[in-house]
Structure 1
Amino acid sequence: MRTETGGRAEEFQQLRPLLFSVSYRILGSVAEAEDAVQETWLRFEAAGAEPRSLKAYLSAAVTRISIDVLRSARVRREEYTGPWFPEPLLADPYQDPERAAELADSVSVAALLLLERLSPLERAVFVLREVFDFGFPEVAEAVGRSEAACRQLAARARRHMADGRPRYEADRKEREELAARFFDALSEGDVGGLRELLAGDVSLVGDGGGKAPQLARAVSGADPVARLLAAVFPRLARLDLVLDRCEVNGGPGAVLRDEEGRVLQTMALDVADGRIQDVRFVLNPDKLRHLGPVADVWAVHRRFRKLPR
């Protein structure tokens, strides 16, 4: 026989993937989203509430917590050293086969960076309404605003998001084929092969947060980016580093690991108009710990610099 507490915990666990996915899209941080979900459980347990719709009740709670966290996090992000990227997410726990592609797009690095342009309320309304299809009454309850105000917030958020999206986004099959060719050329150090896959104005940027070696500035242009990648990655293989291909934030990417399987960095590719538009690296160890043991990136960097060219 289940106890009341056990039953409540089981019901909460069933909704945990949704709660995490909502919070992650609002915050762009795995660690902060996990903390927000845990705080939601603690408040739910302490309140002893028996809501009519548990999904709506818990989603509202995790949204309000996430909004508060985001407001304080924005100050830290403004003081962040170098470019700021969301913490890489290798697998979204919320699974909806009918909307898999749409949900994957909403968690892409490009989409999350667009969401950074929105106010916390706009971001929360957009995530609940446009990504997870919550009704406006539920959205209004979650953010503490009227339905009319939420409709205005949603409209503004949609305009901001639409303004930043590429004209044409590749479908999943096209992205996978392009990524396969990219990683083959990368492993071979094939400058020409890389160049033909990159957009003319492609940008390569790294997020080290001042805690990992990184480029002084973004590298732009197909030829400079192709030459840099072709020069670096074959040499990394000589250090027994492994580029483990996987999905990163719903799109093509990879995790670079050392010889013991520890994480060094992630790479995410943004594909549109039949070319790779952006190559983004996350090297900040604080943003990689949720992926497993993290390698000493500075030690690897020193070994890399000693390699003969």
Structure 2
Amino acid sequence: MSRTDEFQTLRPLLFSIAYRILGSVGEAEDAVQETWLRFAASPTQPTSVRAFLAATVTRISIDVLRSARARREQYVGQWFPEPLIEDPYEDPARSAELADSVSTAALLLLERLSPLERAVFVLREVFAFGYPEVASAVGRSEAACRQLAARARRHMAAGRPRFEADREVREELASRFFDALREGDVAGLRELLAADVSMAGDGGGRAPQLARAVTGAENVARLLASVYPRMARVEVTCEPHQVNGQPGAIFRDRDGRVLHTMALDILDRRIRMIRAVINPDKLGHLGPVADAWAIDREVRRTHRSAG
């Protein structure tokens, strides 16, 4: 098998490692591309191509994450990872675990870890690499990696997100939610929301966004029921998708351009958290991006005319 073929076979795994470390589709793709360049330029063939490539993409991702931390500290408003519609790495035996590990809630927990802890956790706990491979990837001893992994597990366990185990229940509830959203059905929305539900958006100062998170079933239901029917009047459409392994949707303008994504955390047959990514800088990998400010102005203008 040629180097190109070997790399392409492992590319889904490499992207999935990099995305979980970085929380950015664009940065993960760049890390994978840089990994390929280093592999192609290597004068010798590694004993284990998988271990070599995983170690390389991990080291690159750690370096990128360290520089990204400073930028995220200056971020305007709530920071969410870039939405991932489809994780290219598949492992049927661990599909539920992999989906949960890429959820927005899990990625936000990973943000609390140091870059080294995050990398060790991803390699060991998510992708089940052995400690010798983990140690080689991060440049630490096996004993140090065991300590890093234990510390990371404690941090993650303290706030580990829980999701509805039955995927059919999640999908059915999400379908009812988006139907009620389109219809502006306050009662229908309220019925699907947990009493302490929270809704937040990431606009990064680059798009209209909530000034702060909205909490409580009544508040969230009324806000959603007031906003989305107005958006439908200017031909914004809702396209259901899995977003970061959880039920969600992509919203598009009349020309099919991406306006924002929405992801739902569901547990005990109720929606516990609603997260929207509106920042256009985080949506380009999904296709052409809409002008959210223009749509906001059109929605307001249409609402005034209707009133």
TM range (shorter): over 0.9
Deviates more, 1:101-110 or 1:271-280: 271-280
Within the alignment, does 1:295 sit opposite 2:259 as a pair?
Answer: no
The C-alpha deviation readout for 1:151-178, integer Å capped at 9, x for no partner, is 1111111111111124664332221121
Aligned match for 1:137, one of 132, 135, 139: 132
Within the alignment, does 1:165 sit opposite 2:167 as a pair?
Answer: no
Q: 1:166-205 alignment to 2 at 5 Å?
A: 166=161, 169-205=164-200
SS state at 1:162 partner = helix
Q: 1:56-205 alignment to 2 at 5 Å?
A: 56-166=51-161, 169-205=164-200
Query: What residue in structure 2 maps to residue 47 of structure 1?
Result: 42
SS state at 2:255 partner = coil
| Alpha-carbon distance in 2 for matches of 1:185, 1:70 | 39
Query: What residue in structure 1 maps to residue 24 of structure 2?
Result: 29
- C-alpha change, 1:101 and 1:76, in structure 2 (3 Å) is same
SS state at 1:154 partner = helix
Within the alignment, does 1:242 sit opposite 2:237 as a pair?
Answer: yes
SS state at 2:46 partner = coil
SS state at 2:289 partner = coil
Deviation for aligned residue 1:49: 2.8
| Alpha-carbon distance in 2 for matches of 1:119, 1:31 | 21
Q: How many corresponding residue pairs?
A: 304
Q: Could you tell me which runs of 5 or more consecutive residues in structure 1 were left unpaired when the two chains were aligned.
A: none
| Alpha-carbon distance in 1 for matches of 2:271, 2:300 | 28
| Alpha-carbon distance in 2 for matches of 1:299, 1:120 | 38
| Alpha-carbon distance in 2 for matches of 1:61, 1:135 | 16
Which TM-score applies when normalising by structure 1?
A: 0.96
| Alpha-carbon distance in 2 for matches of 1:82, 1:47 | 43
| Alpha-carbon distance in 1 for matches of 2:173, 2:57 | 37
Query: What residue in structure 2 maps to residue 18 of structure 1?
Result: 13
The C-alpha deviation readout for 1:206-261, integer Å capped at 9, x for no partner, is 10000001111111111000000011111111111110001000110000001111
SS state at 1:196 partner = helix
- C-alpha change, 1:10 and 1:168, in structure 2 (3 Å) is closer
Letter in 2 for 1:122: E
Q: Could you tell me which runs of 5 or more consecutive residues in structure 2 were left unpaired when the two chains were aligned.
A: none
The C-alpha deviation readout for 1:53-111, integer Å capped at 9, x for no partner, is 10000000000000000000000000000000000000001111221111111100011
Deviates more, 1:63-72 or 1:266-275: 266-275
| Alpha-carbon distance in 1 for matches of 2:44, 2:87 | 28
Q: 1:247-258 alignment to 2 at 5 Å?
A: 247-258=242-253
| Alpha-carbon distance in 2 for matches of 1:98, 1:50 | 30
Letter in 1 for 2:192: L
| Alpha-carbon distance in 1 for matches of 2:249, 2:175 | 11
SS state at 2:65 partner = helix
Counting aligned pairs with the same residue, the percent is: 73
Deviation for aligned residue 1:48: 2.4
SS state at 1:111 partner = helix
Deviation for aligned residue 1:9: 1.1
| Alpha-carbon distance in 1 for matches of 2:125, 2:162 | 19
Which TM-score applies when normalising by structure 2?
A: 0.96
The C-alpha deviation readout for 1:180-217, integer Å capped at 9, x for no partner, is 12112111111111112111111111100000011111
